[in-house]
Structure 1
């Protein structure tokens, strides 16, 4: 799961140090000046690519497109 956090500039150092101290958390700061919408898009897109890689590696099963459309 990926989470996008909006942190005040004066607290970024503390938050990054805290997150890096947790062995199960991977951190990757986004480029400066990126909008919230782009940050959310990038996080969701990266999650989609990870899911696709899991399907291609045989770790998970792909869903049928018709089943997806039925849910909508």
Structure 2
């Protein structure tokens, strides 16, 4: 059997879809749209570095991370 991924546009739509699925006795698994903790921590670290003036230009980043070895 195939699965479907639903993208409700409001809390009301989500509530209605869940109610319909429950009424039809269709199994579903709610999933959160939040990012993994390590990604959130990395983003926060980058924001703090930027605010502290520790950022680098795009060219400096490319030179540092994409330099041919």
TM-score by length of 1: 0.39
TM-score by length of 2: 0.40
Q: Computing the radius of gyration over CA atoms, which structure comes out larger, 1 or 2? A: 2
The structure showing larger relative contact order (alpha-carbon pairs under 8 Å, at least 6 residues apart) is 1
